[in-house]
Structures are given as C-alpha cells and as structure tokens.
Amino acid sequence: LDRMKPVIVVHGGAGRIFKEREEGSRAGVVRAALRGYGVLKQGGSALDAVEEAVRSMEDDPHFNAGCGSVLNEKGEVEMDAIIMDGKNLDSGAVSAVKCIANPIKLARLVMEKTKHMLLTDHGAQLFAQAMGIPEIPGEKLITERSRERWKKNLEPDSNPEEFQKDLGTVGAVAIDSEGNVACATSTGGLSNKLIGRVGDTACIGSGGYADNHSGATSTTGHGESIMKVVLGRLILYHMEQGMSPEVAADTALDYMKTRVGGLGGVIVVNKAGEWAARFSTKQMSWATVKDDNLHYGIYAGEEHIKSVDEALASEREGF
C-alpha cells in the first residue's frame, strides 16, 4: 500500500487582522499546524490532527473561537463547531453552546457517541454533561478585547458591520498517511449577533466538508454568504470537475463575491495531498505543514517557509 505523505492546513480566520494582533495570529496558526502535524507524524488520523489543531486555537485568545470568542447582543459567548470524517462522511456539530472550553471536542463526541449530526444550545449542554465535559463559567471565555468591542458596538452611532470584518473563525484540514481526509471548524460567530444566531460553521457543507473521494475544506468569513453558496461543498465540487485546490478555492470565492457580495477565506487539501489557502478578504492567517516544511502567511501573496525542526526550535524558545 502506497503511504500518503501527511499534510495539515489551518486558518485563524479571514478578515482584517489589526497590526497589534498580527504576531499573535501568526504564532497561533503556526503552533496549531505544528501540533496537528505532530499527530500525523506519529501515525495519527486526520481526524485527530484537525481536532488537535483547532483545540489549540480555541485555547488561544487571539482567535474568535473558544476563549476569545466575540459576544452576542446580550454580552454572552455562543459558539459553533463542526468536525467531519472524509472516510464515511460522518460529521458532528454543535451550535450556540456556552460555558465549555472546547466546542470542537463536543462536536467530535456528537459524531462518535450519538446517531445525530448537530446538537444545539440546551440540548448540547445536557449532552456535554452526560459526556463528563466540565462546564466553565462563561466569563472565563470572555477576553477584555471582546468585551470592549461589544460595548463599542452598543453605542448608538456604532456600526457592528465594520467590526465584523475582523471575523476570526478557526479551522483545519488534513490528510493522513492512509489517505483519509478530515476537516474541523470552530467559531464564536459575529460580534453583537442576535441571541441564537448560528452561522455557517455548524452547517455541513458550509463551514466545512470532507470526502476522501475529493478532499477537505474549512471556511471562514461572512457566515450568511457562505451558507447561501454552500461554500465548502462548492469547492469540492469544483475539484471533482478536475480543478486544482487553488483554482477551485478562487473560483468558489469569486462566485460568492459576485453572486451575494460575500467575502471570506478557505483552506483546502485534495486527495492527492495538494493544498491551498485562499481568501477574498484583506487578510487571513494560515499555516501548512507538508514534507516537513512549514508554510505560513497573513497577507495576499505572503508565504514564509521554514523547516519543521527550525520552527519547533523557535516554538520552544517562544515565537
């Protein structure tokens, strides 16, 4: 059996990344990619790798997922997450969940321990309790920055849309040495969103999609626009028609922009292990590891390359 070379790609959200947050965003996606790759190198599954990478970003307050999530109109954190297995199209998702540190872990449990694919709000909370997932006080997930932004958006002359450009969903896609693909996506959603608003992240085909027959993708950007065109599935469709990951991603993003005026970003890996990280927003933090080389960037056209050993060494010294 021909072993695949494992590949992982991660994103930390598309939008505009404020100057003072660039370093943290870069370091965060690099750390997540290295962690996910570590799982793959030890023979771990694509599923384990994407979950690990996303968990790493949920725990990093630089990103709008887990700790650091934006607040809804009432000043609370409500989070969405999805994970999908390309082998058999199994998927698990949670939406509007509160008071847990890692929604991606809960999504994985929904996939593996229930006959369902999506649990929401109170039901997801009951399921988390049944699974022994510790509840944490909601305040623990709220950063100073999220609260500041929430307050700003409450002012009568504020324009929350302006702030929503800094979106910061997180995601990962991977292919493992057996050729299985997987995706995972997690988010705190839109700042000052209505209570109970769920975006693209928890929706299969929109927030992500994985199928061994074609590849895997995770999306970020304006959720409502992503849902209208079912962006994740659209990209895989283009790859099924013979497009490369990069062309498929650009074609789908371009369609979303012209058809519904939506901006976003995507990461993709195909069944041959070719990858892409593309976006129509000003920026998207992303990182990839393939062939023991780390690639990463934030701006269009920006791509730094380091060997994994070099990256792990500077990781240990603090980025």
Query: Residues comprising the binding site for substrate?
Result: 197-200, 220-223
DSSP string, 189-215: -STTPPTT---STTSBTTTEEEETTTE
Cα–Cα distance, 196 to 150 (Å, whole number): 16
- Nearest in space to 192 (alpha carbons), one of 228, 152, 224, 220: 152
Cα separation, 65 vs 152, in Å, equals 20
Distance of CA 181 to the CA centre of its chain: 15
- 269: which 2 tokens? 């890996």
Give the residue ranges of the annotated binding site: 197-200, 220-223
Strand order in 208-211's β-sheet?
208-211, 215-221, 264-270, 275-279
Contact 160, 192 (CB under 8 A): yes
- Is residue 59 within 8 Å of residue 66, measured between CB atoms? yes
169 is an active site residue: yes
Q: Which of 114, 120, 143, 169 is catalytic?
A: 169
Tell me the two tokens of residue 100: 């847990």
Rounded (to 5) percent helix, strand, coil in the chain:
35, 25, 35
Residues identified as active-site: 169
